[in-house]
Structure formats: C-alpha cells, structure tokens
Amino acid sequence: MTAVPPWDAFTATEAEVRAMVSDPRWQGLSVPDRAHVLAARILVTPDGDRWLYGAHARWHLHDPADGRWHLAPPPRGTRTRRVSHPAAALPDAVVPHGYDFHAEPGSTQAFVGPDVPAGLTEQLRVLVRACGRKSELDYPLTAFDEIFASDVPSTVAAVWGTIMWCAYAPAFDGNERLITVFGEYLRRSLPGDEWVRWLPAPPLLDLVTLVAERLRAGQPRAALRLAAIIADTAQILLLDTRFRPRALAMLTMVEPVLRRAGFEHEDDAAMRRAWLTRCPSRLCRALLVENDPEEDFSHVLYDLVNALSFMPDPRAAAATFLADLSDSRMVLPGRLDHRLRQAYGELHDAGLTGTSAGESTEPEGFAVRSGGVSVASPPVVEVAPPDRGSAAAVLGAAYAMGLAWGRLTGAKVPDRGLAGQSALVRRIVHERDDHHTGHT
C-alpha cells in the first residue's frame, strides 16, 4: 500500500488556490475580488509570519516592517492557522493573472549532476558538425568572439549561444560531453577550475546580433539559416528539464520568423524587442532574465532557498551563498525577506559578507587572502546535501543567483565560481556522475 504523505496546510492551500485560478470564472473577477478570496487564505505560522500563495504560483512572505510581500518558499510541515487579512492591503503584483500559473517548472540543477542525456548530446554534435562546415566568410563571427576562434563561423556560435541562453545555470562538469563537442572551435580554455566550468550566460541580444548583422549585410538567406539553427537547437534542448522553459520560449520567438521567411527589423535592439513580444504570457517567467532583472533575482533566490529545503534552516544556508556577492552599496538587504535579511545581517555583522569579492584562492581552495592576510573560510552553515542530485540543484540555483545579481548590479561572477559554490563542489568532486534521467 502506498504511504500517504502527512497533511500540510501549505500544500492544501496551494491545491485550493490552483483550483480557483484554473476555474474559468477567475478571469471574470476584478483584481479586488481576486484579492479578497486570496486574503481569506493567508496562513500564519507560530512565529507570526504571514504567508500568501499568489502570483506565479509561488508563496509570498509579508514583511511586518514595511508591508511588502517577498517571494519566499514556506516552512512546510509547520503548524499554521488562517487569519483574516484586509484584501485592500494586497498589492496587485501578488494577485495571480492566471497565465502565470502555467509556467514550466524546469530544474535548478547545474550540469554537475546527471549528464545531459546522450541522445540530446548526439543530436547537437551532428548539428554542430554541420554548422562547422560553413564558411566564416559567409557567416562571420559578430558575437561570442570571446569564446570562439576568429575562423569559426557564426553558425557554430548560434548553437553555443542558444544552449547557454536556454540553460537555467550554465555550470558544467569539465568532462560534460555536451561541452566537449565544441572543443576544436574554442578560442581558449573555458573559464572555471579543474572540476567545473562556470560559463557566462549570454543575453538574447548576442543571438539577435548574429542574425541582424547578416540582414544588414544583404544576406537574408544566411540570416534565416541562423534563425533556423537557433530554432533547431532549442527544439533539441526541450528534451532536458534544465533547458526546457527557456528553450520553449526561444522557439516561440524564432519560429514565426521561419514560417514567414522574413524579418521585421534589421536593427539589433528592434529585432530583440520583436522577438520578446512574440513570446506568450504563459512563458513570462522564462523571460524575466531579459525583461525584469529585479524580478528575476527574486525568483532565483526563491529557487535557492527551495533547493536548500533539506537543511534545518534553509534561509541561514541561503545566506551563506548570498554572503559571496559583491554589494559595496549595501542594496542587497533591502531585496530580502525579513527572515533572510536577518540571517544575512548576522553574517555581515561578523564581517563574513562579500567573501568572493577581491579574493585570490590558494591552489586547493582551502584558504583565501584578503588584504594580504591568509584566512580560513569555513562556511558559517555547512551545506551538506544528501546526494549528488541535491548538490547539483543547490549549485545551479546558487550560480543562477550569482548571474542574476550580476545582471542587476553589474557585479562580475568570478571565473572560478563563488566561494560557497566552490566549497560545495569539493564535497562532491570525487563522486561519480550519475546517469539518472530525472532532474530536481
């Protein structure tokens, strides 16, 4: 007999709200009416925290200091009660539209867990080989020139750029077969250390530039070929949950161009805007990385805390990863919910924040130098995932968080990864890759 999971108020409320939002009558309600039914389902935990299941099918935590609602995973299994809450106090941003409940869940795993499926890798290998036979004179490298040699055609760069844009977190095992496919085309060794390649996530504009440049050069057929390669790559990437949400968004942006066999714009920025506007609302979360850096950072932070749910205190654990971020202007605390802000504040008061900024790491990564003084850097909370898949989920979410912070503030992610991530990699580097097809 299958064991029945224990009843949980958060899970039960999620099911109730999902049923309401999926009901056709939800679209007929005004925003105040929607807020009213949501306000009646707010949960309160014994510590006084108020939790709302709302927009984007995610939980929001009320900050008693300023009344804001922050995206935050709930403490499942905690005793709760329902309380009345004034619906007028709910901002429109936390009230579901309906389409926002249809987002692909995807996976937060980095590619330091299960390898990319062999079938997917083989399809991309065949595609890259075909693209590599094109002439760089017909397909000049107008973007990704920091990755590829100057004689590499932009057709190869289009495959690479699509993979990296679609990846939730482009951190790969050094021996990941998907990356070795590009070995002969690379300009120099990829960034990272001997175990993990912490690869940059390109903006959509880089891919658009490859296409738009060919249009401006009077080569519309070459532009269409590049767009088709982007679409073909995205179609293959749908097979892996770590790529799927953004791969689906990419397909919806590019395929209309192929059906019409033409482009509306030759200007890079105008073409990018046209691509983004073609993506349907139900895929809006996948495009936050392009459209709303602040909201994107909030969502990847939610993912990080969620990925740390195996820890006794996920927020304290998440704070150790946040401590790696460069934040000289101290704008980070204001973007955190009050519980996470408190955990981060304790690290800041102890002088343990900004730990990846301006550091140089010793050969084995066990000590760092700050101001010329060598200091040990043990984590305040030791993150010990129960298995490699959980570790990969934390690594992916933490790296995505670092990339999102960089897009928001301009802070650079170190080539060798943030300190907390590198420490976690050292815990799992001697474990074999597993080959499970399911991803967290």
Are 360 and 369 within 8 A, CB to CB?
yes
Q: Is 373 helix (H, G, I), strand (E, B) or coil?
A: strand
Provide the sign of the torsion angle of the four alpha carbons 87, 93, 95, 97, taken in this order: positive
Answer for the pair 371, 340: CB distance below 8 angstroms, yes or no: no
Return the pLDDT at 379: 53
Query: In the structure encoding, which two tokens stand for residue 325, read together?
Result: 């971020």
- How far CA 23 is from CA of 28, 185, 275, 310, in Å, comes to 10, 52, 31, 34
Extract the tokens encoding 284: 């809006």
Which residue type occupies 308? L
DSSP 29-58: S-HHHHHHHHHTT-EE-TTS-EEEEEGGGE
**Distance of CA 19 to CAs 81, 87, 345, Å?**
20, 20, 39
* DSSP, residue by residue, 230-250: HHHHHHHHTTSTTTHHHHHHH
CA distance 351 to 395: 24
Chain centroid to Cα 210, Å, comes to 24
- Per-residue tokens: 428: 């799992």
User: H-helix or E-strand containing 376?
Assistant: strand 373-376
Task: List the alpha helices (DSSP H) in 2-153.
Answer: 9-22, 31-39, 118-132
pLDDT on residue 378:
40
Question: Minimal CA–CA distance to 20: which of 37, 7, 33, 44?
Answer: 37
DSSP string, 92-120: GGGS--SGGGG--------BTSSPPPHHH
Beta strands in 41-164 (DSSP E): 43-44, 50-54, 58-62, 69-71, 81-82
What distances in angstroms separate CA 41 from CA 9, 13, 143, 422, one per listed residue? 10, 7, 50, 41
pLDDT at residue 192 in the model: 82
Nearest to 392 by CA among 204, 196, 199, 228: 196
Token pair recorded at residue 133: 């036979």
Q: Give the amino acid at 41.
A: R
For residue 220, what are its two tokens?
A: 């519309």
- φ and ψ of 23, to 5 deg: -70, 130
Cα of first residue to Cα of last residue in the chain, in angstroms, is: 26
297: left (phi over 0), alpha (psi -120 to 50) or beta: alpha
Nearest Cα residue to 94 out of 340, 318, 295? 295
Q: In 10 A of CB 313, how many CB atoms? A: 13
CA nearest neighbour of 199 among 176, 222, 221: 176
Per-residue pLDDT of the chain (440 residues; tens, 9 = 90+): 455 567 789 999 999 999 999 999 999 999 999 999 999 999 999 999 999 999 999 999 999 988 999 999 999 989 999 987 787 789 999 999 999 998 888 999 999 878 899 999 999 999 999 999 999 999 999 999 999 999 999 999 999 999 999 999 999 987 789 999 999 999 988 888 778 899 999 999 999 999 999 999 999 999 999 999 999 999 999 999 999 999 999 999 999 989 886 777 789 999 999 999 999 999 999 999 999 999 999 999 999 999 999 999 999 999 999 999 999 889 999 999 999 999 999 999 999 988 774 443 333 333 333 333 233 344 568 898 999 899 999 999 999 999 999 999 999 888 888 889 888 888 887 775 545 444 44
